[in-house]
Structure 1
Amino acid sequence: MNFIETSEAPAPGGHYSQAVEHNGLIFISGILPITPAGEKLTDATFSEQTEQVLKNLDAILAAAGSERSNVLKVTVFITDMSAWGSVNQVYAQFFGDHKPARSVVPVLPLHYGLKIELEAVATR
């Protein structure tokens, strides 16, 4: 088991790793729209928050020796399903032709009043 950590994504806010790699699979913890410097994008639009979450995903994948084309499964937690169109547009642009399995889960407000959280499973 290998614990993944990078300063190119926000530091964990609790007792967990940014990601854990085991037997070639990478389990990426919930990623919030927080910059690597710790700025919480609470007032940003859904699109802007989604862009930051995906930038953080890229950084964690790179630290694990992987990339977005190796993402197998994504779970997106979103506080307002009416914003799904803008979130999905940013998501589709990010992944391009690659279409990992995905679940979208509507949730109550997230930490710090943020609007989106994403977790993923990837391979190396």
Structure 2
Amino acid sequence: MSKTAISTEQAPAAIGPYSQAVRAGNTVYLSGQIPFVPATMELVSGDIAAEARQVFDNLRGVCEAAGGSLDRIVRVGIYLTDLADFNAVNEVMASVFAQPFPARSTIQVAGLPRGARVEVDAVMVLD
């Protein structure tokens, strides 16, 4: 099996030893994105909805660099530092995806890198 790293300036650079995404066959595994603005590598300011929108914008950039789009995502994992943010993130996700929505898990975590409140990873399938 061959695998190819995906990299784009339309999403934040990796802050550790990982790829923004890896393609294996026609499946693309997208690493977790936190709400960094790619140009500044700083967290977006604002409420949790603003953070979630930035995360999905970052994922969109990686999807496009891999030759796909958010519509090709079949699974997302959402990590929140506070489940009280669940409804706000749901609203953002509903504005980003169309039915049928991706499969999903949402997990509360004790902390995320750089003080982020939300992180999302995904799996995308290409034709």
TM range, smaller chain: over 0.9
Moved over 6 A (4+): none
Q: Which residue identity is paired with 2:76?
A: V
Q: TM-score, normalised by structure 2?
A: 0.93
Q: Which residue identity is paired with 1:119?
A: D
- Which runs of 5 or more residues in structure 2 are unaligned? none
1:1-124 equivalences under 5 Å are 1-37=3-39, 38-41=41-44, 43-124=45-126
- Which runs of 5 or more residues in structure 1 are unaligned? none
Secondary structure of 2:111 counterpart: coil
Q: Which residue identity is paired with 1:80?
A: D
> Between the two proteins, what is the percent identity of the paired residues?
34
Q: TM-score, normalised by structure 1?
A: 0.95
1:69, 1:98 within 8 Å by CA — same for their partners in 2? no
Once the two structures are superposed, what CA deviation does each residue of 1:13-68 show, in whole Å capped at 9, x if it has no partner? 01100000001000000101001111222x52110000000000100000000111
